[in-house]
Chain A
């Protein structure tokens, strides 16, 4: 009779092969249960039907640098339409030799945006930098001084116009929106009524009706002889429209402020203006940064509507290429290209907004 004592550790067993690694992952994420298994198989079948033909069309059989003749013979995508008309699609009717100017302006804008990504860079000087940068971009586009040839704004078009409409639209709409939302929260009944009417009226109608108004009715509002150019009028419509949406977003921030903040400011003896500027707005505007970015995204997308009042933005230049008999019938390629441009813009913005949201929520 003797006791059995295990004095050596038993050898380590590897986990079953069906639980870890690629197989385990597939079992847990793709084939957990009969319903998910069927779903996975159906999805894979669908992907098999769609992806390889698309790949073949877009890459294997496609032509990239041919003329329109080569496109007619090719069986796949005709990316040559982009290659051949690239500069017209991007810059529109801007004089050909002067294309470096809008290009430089866009690079400055992208540089400024990129630099502003980091929240530690947000200070007064960045604000001045933006004002300087925007002014410089305006000079670059317009010309007429510094030895630059003057370019009429009727010749502006393509991507610079799209960016111009959205950047200036938002920078001007933001203060308007803040003022409107303060008016809406105000204790003065008449002022409140005015702001509520404005906000609800604008939010109730489609942007296109405002654009119509700016292009057809606005000239009637002005005394004889005074005219604004079409781009500025569309810009005003976009500002008035976006302002109302920003007002609603900012209102959310204002409503999230506790009463204590107002009372504390009041007990310090601050007047209305100082209360708002030093206590309420800095906190309220910080809360609403993420929804403001999503307003920016939709403003960027909405600039495409100016096509309807015949401004030469990115979409319109593309359509004009497509109406050229040489390139007729290649809409898919052209529109896909534009879609990718818009997607890159919007996607980077929404990614940034998510990042910002995470940072802000971590801080609290």
Chain B
């Protein structure tokens, strides 16, 4: 018997019954099929491009764009190149995403905490807000805010003025800012230096606490440095207080900062929509920390702020951060809907470029590449963070 078994095992197995070889075969077949499909599509495309006489390549990036962009963070005119127009678009996307993310985090955290409030009225209102906002498409919300802006607000000549220096009209919102002054540059520099300094002090304080057990009042000192440095610079420059007040000139406001209705509608829609999701994430994170943790922390005599800081938040954040980053990424991706209400974000500028040059493949590829860069860098950050906060078990 045993002899027979050995001989059968040593017999040559046909390759389709050997799992290893079969796997390799299968992969070759799949790759072959995918390759065929790709070849078919690419060859069709090349023929079509030739037939319709569409140019290929990224050469168009250096050509004159010949279209205007409503708002831009860098200098831009219709004489600039397509490449510069796309950079303007990308910066606009970053601008609305960055401001949106900051406001969303604040609003979402407030609503998430309100959802858990012991106050019945507040928690009910928060849950209604979450349910309603999550169930209405964000595009519809954008259209809604844009329409409200256009239909309900008066023309610039009759602009509403709820507070001094703030004007609301259907051309946007104009508000007062401090007049440009050389001091601002140095104040910003001081802020950055202060931030780095606080980071270093915090590292040192942590190490000292681990070594000696002495606690350093890092929060108060840090706040002092971050606020104090720019303030000192401001004083050193003679405390400039001149304000740049918007004024009605002709049909529009001059001076101050004017935010376009498109920008505000986009920001409002994205923030109100995403905040509902962020609130749910925050709620789930806080609820994930068991009650025993808080009780144990109080039992060893920690004061309430320390309970929150040392026990609750580190555990809740581990649950909150991953879905939170994906919500932030969603906000960035949803900002591409700007094209529907005419805010010049990257997709919108790329769309105009496609329409003018006819080079659709390059245009869509650029859109995809830019968003892939955003999402890949976010997931790189996520991996780094996950590694950092992973439970270290003894």
Binding site for B on A (CB under 8 A): 29-30, 32, 36, 39-40, 43-44, 187-191, 194, 201, 203-206, 208-209, 212-213, 216-217, 219-224, 297, 301-302, 304-305, 307-308, 315, 319, 322, 329, 331-332, 335-336, 338-339, 342-343, 345-347, 350
Q: Give residues 310-354 of B contacting A (CB, 8 Å).
A: 333-334, 336-337, 339-340, 347, 351, 354
Besides A191-B30, A308-B339, A331-B147, 15 new A-B residue pairs in contact (Cβ under 8 A), listed by A number: A36-B119, A43-B119, A189-B27, A201-B368, A205-B375, A206-B334, A222-B44, A224-B51, A305-B337, A307-B340, A319-B143, A331-B151, A332-B148, A339-B140, A345-B135
Q: List 12 A-B contacts (CB under 8 A).
A: A30-B120, A30-B121, A191-B30, A194-B31, A204-B374, A206-B371, A216-B354, A220-B44, A331-B143, A331-B151, A332-B151, A338-B140
Q: A216-B354, A223-B44, A338-B140 are in contact. Are A203 and B121 (CB under 8 A)?
A: no
Bound: A217/B367 CA distance, A: 13
Scan residues 118-172 of chain B and give those whose CB is less than 8 A from a CB of chain A: 118-122, 125, 131-132, 134-140, 143-144, 147-148, 150-151
How far, in Å, is B107 (CB) from chain A's closest CB? 16
Give CA–CA (A175, B372) in the complex, Å: 25
| B residues near A39, Cβ cutoff 8 Å | 117, 119, 121-122
B48, B121, B337 — most chain A CB neighbours (10 Å): B121
Q: Does B26 contact A (CB under 8 A)?
A: yes
Contact flag A204-B41 (CB < 8 Å), given A209-B371, A342-B135: no
Interface membership of B389, Cβ < 8 A: no
A308 contact set on B, CB distance < 8 A: 337, 339-340
Which residue of chain B has its CB nearest to the CB of A305? Answer: B139
CA distance A30 to B120 in the complex (A): 6
Q: B residues within 8 A CB of A223?
A: 44, 47
Contacts of A224 in B (CB 8 A): 47-48, 51
Q: What is the CB-to-nearest-CB distance from B293 to chain A, in angstroms, rounded to a whole number?
A: 23
Nearest chain A residue, comparing its CB with the CB of B351: A212
Q: In the complex, are the beta carbons of A343 and B121 less than 8 A apart?
A: no
Residues of B contacting A201 in the complex (Cβ-Cβ under 8 angstroms): 368, 372
For chain B, residues 12 to 57, give those with C-beta under 8 angstroms from any C-beta of chain A: 23, 26-27, 30-31, 34, 41, 44-45, 47-49, 51
B360 adjacent to A217 (CB under 8 Å): yes
Q: How far is the CB of B131 from chain A (nearest CB, A)?
A: 7
Contact B336 A208 (CB under 8 A): yes
A204 to B135, CA, bound (A): 23
Give the residue name and chain of the A residue nearest to B46 (CB). Answer: A220
- Interface residues of B, CB < 8 Å — how many? 55
The 3 closest A-B pairs by CB, nearest first: A331-B147, A346-B135, A29-B120
Residue contact A301 to B138, C-beta cutoff 8 Å? yes
Q: How far is the CB of B248 from chain A (nearest CB, A)?
A: 24
In whole angstroms, how far apart are the Cα atoms of A212 and B362 in the complex? Answer: 12
Does chain A have a CB within 8 A of B376?
A: yes
**Chain B residues near A191 (CB-CB < 8 A):** 26-27, 30
Contact A217 B361 (CB under 8 A): yes
Summarize B's interface: helix, strand, loop or mixed: helix
Query: Are A209 and B125 in contact, with the CB atoms below 8 A?
Result: no
CA distance A336 to B132 in the complex (A): 12
For B48, what are the chain A residues with a Cβ–Cβ distance below 8 Å?
219-220, 224
Q: How far apart sit A308 and B138, CA to CA, in the bound complex (Å)?
A: 13
Q: Tell me if B139 and A331 are in contact (CB < 8 A).
A: no
Chain A residues whose C-beta falls within 8 Å of the C-beta of B135 in the assembled complex: 297, 301, 342-343, 345-347, 350
CB atoms of B51 and A208 under 8 A apart = no
**B364 within 8 Å of A (CB atoms):** yes
Which residue from chain A places its CB closest to the CB of B30 in the assembled complex? A191
Cross-chain contact B368 with A209 (CB below 8 angstroms): yes
Q: Whole-angstrom distance from the CB of A54 to the nearest CB of chain B?
A: 14
Contacts of B137 in A (CB 8 A): 301-302, 304, 315, 342
Docked-complex contact B372 and A205, CB < 8 angstroms: yes
Contacts of B136 in A (CB 8 A): 301, 339, 342-343, 346
